[in-house]
Amino acid sequence: KVGNHDAIVPSISGWARQHGINTIFVDDRDPFARGFQVT
C-alpha cells in the first residue's frame, strides 16, 4: 500500500548481448556538424 491506495512493485527482466562498441565524434572542420535546415 501507498498511503490508503493499493500498489504494486513493477519489475523488468530479460537479457541482452553486446554486438559492438562505437565512438562518435564531431569534426570541428565539418560545416554541417550540427546538421542543416532546408527552407
- At 11 the pLDDT is 96
pTM: 0.31
- At 15 the pLDDT is 97
> Sign of torsion, CA 28 30 35 39?
positive
What are 1-39's pLDDT values in tens digits? 889 999 999 999 999 999 999 998 889 899 998 889 998
- At 34 the pLDDT is 85
- At 20 the pLDDT is 94
- Written as one string, the DSSP assignment of the chain is -BTTB----------------------TT-TTTT-----
Cα(39)–Cα(28) distance, rounded to whole angstroms? Answer: 24
Location of C-alpha cell 562505437: 22
